Amino acid sequence: MATEVKVPTLGESVTEATVGELLKKVGDAVAVDEPIISLETDKVAVEAPSPVAGTIKEFKVDVGDTVEVNAVIAVIEEGDAPAKSSGDSDDAPKADKPDADVEKAAPAQAKEATDGDSSQTLSPAVRRAVLEHGVDPSTIKGTGKDGRLTKEDVIAAAEAKKSGGSKPAESTSAPAAAAGERREERVKMTRMRQTIAKRLKGAQDNAALLTTFNDVDMSAVMEARGKYKDMFAKKHDIRLGFMGFFAKAACLALKDVPAVNAYIEGDEIVYHDYVDISVAVSAPNGLVVPVIRDAQDKGFAQIEKDIADFGKRAKDGTLTMDDMKGGTFTISNGGVFGSLMSTPIINPPQSAVLGLHRIEDRPVVVNGEIVIRPMMYIALSYDHRLIDGREAVTALKIIKEAIEDPTRMLIDL
């Protein structure tokens, strides 16, 4: 009996996706709920699972195709799949586990390939194969559409590595350009990157953007972290970071200046009595903004756990649409990449975003004397259609004062 595999529900207001990778081949055996196709949506990569156990009879789509929700993408022949022969190349790499040293090195290799300046993006299945086989994806030439790396490319490279590099040249990186040769490469934008571009440009076109700046003395927060970080980690099993402090400080500011936590919808202003903070996180395919819900009711430990979980799942490609739905205010930390100052762009339909930057020792005047303090520039970009300059400056000043005197966050000042 043949069973159709359809595009699953992708999330609120998301009606279509792009086929990122075929995770199986025609004739492969699949188990119930085993992923067979990787789909790229506007925000996340999702995998379409097989609804039954059986053998893949046919794929109705190819890599790069655009598919709508509930469209048929594959056909599975139900029943026991024929046993594979002992010489089947698919079994060999799965049977041999990489040695400990390679296994430890693989995550760093996968991170280097996705975090660097390369145009290469890795689907969840490819990332798993990279980690499993301990190969460096940056040294492999992709054979997929637009030069994308496939799981088969990774397996072939692993086999070549085991056999002492006797694999033909097509599974290795392309030869370096001759001296003085000028080269260029065209790579199709992923659906996520297209959406990021559209949303950011839309924010500039539709909102009256303005940015106000301040600087923060981080001495008190750094002293608190240094004093309590070991006890905090022991009790809560999570590292005490800076984002927890800024999230709680933002909650204070948004409570006192509710317009910064609101947004425009048609000819109405929507105010919120809760704070859902979108946290900008780097993922292999671009920037994503999962949401810490009801941040005003959460403690430092839970906020830090939420952020750590989002960061891990962003790199693994396992964030869901629900993780990024909503949000009333955004915090973006460019300081982790070394940024000294920036003008962040709001995340529509939100009306404001807080930008954090790197901490550096600078001379400042305190009580009439020049002293060296760890300082950070902070920026608040806002939609001037809704938020007046006085409100924006006041909100940023509240955040500054709460960070410079964290006791304010404990006694709600």
Give tens-digit pLDDT for 94-141.
444 444 444 444 444 444 444 443 445 566 567 667 767 777 777 787
Tokens matching residue 143: 């054979």
Catalytic residue from among 146, 215, 316, 384: 384
Nearest to residue 60, comparing CAs of 48, 46, 72, 42?
A: 72
The pLDDT value given to residue 381: 96
Residue 225 has pLDDT above 80, yes or no: yes
Strands 329-333 and 277-279, sheet pairing: parallel
pLDDT > 70: what percent of the chain? 78
The answer, as to whether pTM is greater than 0.85, is: no
- Residue that has been written with the tokens 């982790």 in this structure: 336
Compute the mean pLDDT over every residue in the chain, rounded to the nearest whole number: 80
Give the bridge partners for 76, in sequence order. 3, 56
Task: Say which of 33, 91, 388, 405 is annotated catalytic.
Answer: 388
Cβ neighbours around 18 below 10 Å, total: 21
349 preceded by cis ω (within 30°)?
Answer: yes
192-410: CATH architecture: 2-Layer Sandwich (3.30)
Look up 272 and say whether it is catalytic: no
Helices (H) and strands (E) in the chain, counts: 11, 19
Active site residue 215: no
CATH number attached to the domain at 2-78? 2.40.50.100
Break the chain into its structural domains and give their ranges: 2-78, 91-171, 192-410
Q: Nearest CA to 299 among 231, 251, 352?
A: 251
Among left, alpha and beta (phi > 0; psi -120 to 50; other), residue 65 is beta
